[in-house]
Amino acid sequence: MSWNAVLKNLFHIALTLLGVGVVVFVLMRVVPGDPVAMMIPPGAGPEDIANLRAFYGLDKPIHEQFFIWLWHAVQGDFGVSIGLKQDVLGLILERLPATLELGFTALTLAVIAGGLLGISAASAQGRWLASVIDAITAFCQAIPDFLWGLIFILLFGVLWMWLPISGRLDPTIPFDAFTGFYFFESLLRGRWDVTASVFVHSLAPAVALAIPVSAMIARVLRASILEALSSDYVLLARLKGMSGARVLWVEALPNAVTPTLQLTGVQFAFMLGGTVLIERLFSYPGIGGLAINAVVARDLPLIQGIVLTFALLFVLINLLVEVLTLAINPRLRSST
């Protein structure tokens, strides 16, 4: 990737974040409801209300509020949470590692399951196994992740009680994480009890997030492999006497990975957004629960900070996918 492409991508990232900032800032101020009205104590007079609005900058015209907020935001200052009375950036950075670990766990499960199903369906094309896999993926994709979460809570948390359905770590296990990434940090420090507890606590919500994505990955990968198998270079490989397995794994699969990788990156970005409901269902201490509480309380600075964080993750993931795509398929570099 050339420097011009890098600069162009950085410009697109900045433009996207600016657009998201404008939209969320305006929407939060035109929807009905006054956040100050939810904060004033009983018996507060007009002067107290005016002072509180001035303290949060809500007494200024909306365009002035936006430019003040934007100036502070580019310096990493997203303001103070109205409801929690804490620094917004600090709150987000405290919860973000939990959400990222949950998202990466779900992505890993989705890629493994979707990859195996997609390859199996492509290799069994025309046989009963391919039809069975098609039915399974269609069923899994039709049910949204939050409904899978409710099913798992009922099955594994209420009926059979095989898995924990709340929290991130067993409260009886002491562990102070310096980075907030419990799973990776516990692996590095050799705290296997923490690693096991974190994995078990994240398993049900991660599987709920992974099931619809794995079904989509399987369907796209299968279609890409079948398209690659009908290509001229694959037919030539068959004429040279290559076995079916070698043709599939060496010739077809590497060329079928590119569209699947692009889809996986996009779905991972949407998956992180989908953690909002899943984290709420499983009482998982990530950004999701923080976002819902902020919306209910009309906590404008916190909502704006969370939305910008998700937008930044989305564009960074898409940039990473583009880089990986060019690394896997060098022929695409000439068009960038």
Separation CA 269–CA 16 (nearest Å): 15
Pairwise CA distance, residues 71 & 90, whole Å: 18
* Residue 100 near residue 183 (C-beta atoms within 8 A): no
Per-residue pLDDT, 3: 56
- Residues whose CB is less than 8 angstroms from the CB of residue 289 and which lie 6 or more positions away in sequence, other chains included: 279, 280, 283
For 257-273, what is each residue's pLDDT tens digit?
877 887 888 888 888 87
Q: Count Cβ neighbours within 10 Å for each residue of 267-277 and write b for 16 or more, e otherwise.
A: bbbebbbbbbb
In this model, does residue 315 exceed pLDDT 80? yes
- Of all residues in the chain, the percent with pLDDT exceeding 70 is 88
Mean pLDDT to the nearest integer, 294-321 = 85
Q: How much is the pLDDT for 136?
A: 92
**What does the pLDDT look like over 138-172, one tens digit per residue?**
999 889 888 999 999 999 888 888 888 888 888 88
Contact 11, 294 (CB under 8 A): no
Interval 220-268: pLDDT, tens: 888 888 888 777 777 777 767 676 677 777 777 777 787 788 788 888 8
Supply the pLDDT for residue 180.
Answer: 86
Greatest mean pLDDT range, 38-47, 55-64, 239-248: 55-64
State how far the alpha carbon of 307 is from the alpha carbons of 17, 29, 37, 265, 292, in Å: 10, 15, 23, 19, 12
* Residue 125 CA from chain centroid, whole number: 32
239-243's contacts with Cβ under 8 Å and 24+ in sequence apart are none
Identity at 146, one-letter amino acid code: F
> How are the residues of the chain apportioned to helix, strand and coil, as percentages rounded to the nearest 5?
75, 0, 25
Predicted local confidence at residue 199, as pLDDT: 92
Per-residue model confidence (pLDDT) at position 41: 64
Least Cα distance to 264 among 106, 52, 100, 130 occurs for: 106
Q: Which of 207, 219, 226, 210 is nearest to 135 (CA)?
A: 219
Ranges 28-32, 137-141, 176-180, 291-295: which has the least confidence: 28-32
Has residue 113 got a pLDDT over 90?
yes
pLDDT in the model for residue 250: 72
> Residue 318 has which token pair?
């898409």
pLDDT of 86 > 70? The answer is yes
pLDDT at residue 244, rounded to an integer? 66
Give the pLDDT band of residue 207 (cuts 50, 70, 90): very high
**pLDDT at residue number 110:** 93
In Å, how far from its chain's centre is CA 122?
28
Element (H, E) at 328: helix 300-328
pLDDT at 1 over 60: no
pLDDT tens figures, 90-107: 999 999 999 999 999 999
Residue 39 above 70 pLDDT? no
Task: Tell me the mean pLDDT in the region 41-68.
Answer: 74
Q: In this structure, are residues 262 and 321 in contact, taking their beta carbons and an 8 Å threshold?
A: yes
pLDDT-derived band of residue 178, with 50, 70 and 90 as boundaries? Answer: confident
Closest CA to 217 of 68, 336, 107: 107
Residue type, 216: M
Higher-pLDDT residue of 3, 215? 215
Q: What is the rounded CA–CA span in Å between residue 1 and residue 322? A: 9
The per-residue pLDDT for 314 is: 85
Of 109, 149, 84, 143, nearest in space to 280 by CA: 149
Highest mean pLDDT among 34-48, 168-182, 254-268, 318-332: 168-182
Return d(Cα 225, Cα 252) in angstroms, integer: 6
Distance CA 305, CA 328 (A): 34
**Phi/psi zone of residue 200: left (φ > 0), alpha (ψ -120 to 50 degrees), beta?**
alpha
- The DSSP string of 48-82 is HHHHHHHHTTTTS-HHHHHHHHHHHHTTT---B-T
Most confident of 48-57, 199-208, 275-284, 290-299: 199-208
Both tokens of 88, joined, read 């917004």
pLDDT for res 15 = 85
pTM for this entry: 0.82
